[in-house]
């Protein structure tokens, strides 16, 4: 599932898109596209799980082709089945949620003849990871799981050509690959040898509160931009607004919106979250700048008794 920081990232990206459009009439459309792009992270997550699963299907297909050769070798007729018998493949194959969602959304399935899964398989079988796994006589679920997790990290999560391909399918996926990768890795890590076919996969939202938070953060940031920009202008001495980096300004607007219009979120949590966003999406100087503006703003709001916090927001 997406954490609050990742949801803030999505809001930030879409406020940037909204600002680029330059018209208030587009607010609802941008919000709708934002929520759709968040929902589509689940599709990418399923697509990646199916990309793991198809590796077994490719291996089985190649085994059958080798057996049907005119002059099969002894190895062709008696192949090492350790890879295709990996217990993690079985868990993925039997998972009801994965099967049902994939069958309802067949575009998220891979074919054994698709180039990207075949390239992954080719690179895998030539690797030391695969060779060491196949020659190891141990057969344990722990070893199977470790192998699949390494397969995913080394040959799927870091496959740049695949990322370019995904952007061509769904443009928002380019920004969401790291989120889907984290969801897949955490899902794999949660598997146990006796995992039930009924085990639930990850959802994009932890609960309805997280979805509501995302919607409200976008709406309130947009609708209170004039208010929060005025605060930034007052606190950013010797800086004209047009000299502040666009992303830094959006980050400050969102943080100030949380100060003023999200009474249940502690101010220190807000500062920490947006300083991290500045660090990840801007520069080291931006991180210091954002932290300084928010500290000044928080102090003034407290001094003037204008910080509306209650409940958890007081922590």
What is the b/e burial string over 231-257, where b = at least 16 CB atoms within 10 angstroms of the residue's CB? Answer: bbeebbeeeeeeebbebbbbbbbbbbb
Position 283 confidence tier, pLDDT thresholds 50, 70, 90:
confident
What confidence score (pLDDT) does residue 240 get?
62
Q: What is the average per-residue pLDDT within 130-157?
A: 96
What confidence score (pLDDT) does residue 24 get?
56
Q: How far apart are CA 37 and CA 293, in angstroms?
A: 31
Chain-centroid distance, C-alpha 110: 20
Position 239 confidence tier, pLDDT thresholds 50, 70, 90:
low
Give 36's contacts (C-beta < 8 A, 6+ positions apart).
none
Angle at alpha carbon of residue 72, lines to 67 and 75, rounded to 5°: 80
Distance (Å) of CA 131 to CA 55, 58, 82, 134, 138 = 16, 17, 11, 5, 14
Position 311 confidence tier, pLDDT thresholds 50, 70, 90:
confident
Position 23 confidence tier, pLDDT thresholds 50, 70, 90:
low
Q: What is the average per-residue pLDDT within 231-246?
A: 78
**Average pLDDT along the chain:** 93
Please answer whether residues 208 and 26 qualify as being in contact, where contact means their C-beta atoms are separated by less than 8 angstroms: no
What confidence score (pLDDT) does residue 62 get?
97
For 69, counting Cβ atoms within 10 Å of its Cβ (0-12 exposed, 13-18 middle, 19+ buried), the class is exposed
Please answer whether residues 141 and 90 qualify as being in contact, where contact means their C-beta atoms are separated by less than 8 angstroms: no
Position 285 confidence tier, pLDDT thresholds 50, 70, 90:
confident
Q: Which of 18-27, 47-56, 144-153 has the lowest mean pLDDT?
A: 18-27
Looking at the chain, the whole-number percentage of residues with pLDDT higher than 70 is: 97
What confidence score (pLDDT) does residue 309 get?
83
Four-point Cα dihedral 188, 190, 191, 192, nearest 10: 150
Position 89 confidence tier, pLDDT thresholds 50, 70, 90:
very high
Position 138 confidence tier, pLDDT thresholds 50, 70, 90:
confident
């Amino acid at each position: 599932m997406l954490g609050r920081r990742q949801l803030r990232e999505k809001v930030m990206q879409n406020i940037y898109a909204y600002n680029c459009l330059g018209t208030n009439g587009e607010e609802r459309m941008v919000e709708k596209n934002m929520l759709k792009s968040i929902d589509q992270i689940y599709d990418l997550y399923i697509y990646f799980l199916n990309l793991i699963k198809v590796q077994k299907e490719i291996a089985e297909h190649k085994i059958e082709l080798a057996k049907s050769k005119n002059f099969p070798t002894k190895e062709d007729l008696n192949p090492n089945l350790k890879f295709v018998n990996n217990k993690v493949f079985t868990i993925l194959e039997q998972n009801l949620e994965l099967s049902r969602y994939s069958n309802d959304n067949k575009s998220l399935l891979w074919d054994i003849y698709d180039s990207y899964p075949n390239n992954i398989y080719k690179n895998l079988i030539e690797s030391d990871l695969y060779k060491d796994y196949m020659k190891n006589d141990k057969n344990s679920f722990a070893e199977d799981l470790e192998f699949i997790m390494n397969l995913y990290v080394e040959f799927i999560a870091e496959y740049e050509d695949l990322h370019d391909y995904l952007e061509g399918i769904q443009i928002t996926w380019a920004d969401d690959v790291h989120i889907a990768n984290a969801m897949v890795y955490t899902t794999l890590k949660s598997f146990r040898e006796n995992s039930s076919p009924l085990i639930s996969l990850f959802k994009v939202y932890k609960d309805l509160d997280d979805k509501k938070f995302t919607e409200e953060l976008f709406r309130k940031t947009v609708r209170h931009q004039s208010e929060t920009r005025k605060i930034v202008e007052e606190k950013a001495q010797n800086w004209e607004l047009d000299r502040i980096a666009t992303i830094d300004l959006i980050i400050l607007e969102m943080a100030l919106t949380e100060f003023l219009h999200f009474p249940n979120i502690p101010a220190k949590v807000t500062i920490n979250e947006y300083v991290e966003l500045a660090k990840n999406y801007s520069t080291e100087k931006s991180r210091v700048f954002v932290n300084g503006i928010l500290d000044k703003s928080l102090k003034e709001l407290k001094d003037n008794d204008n910080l509306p916090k209650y409940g958890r927001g007081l922590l």
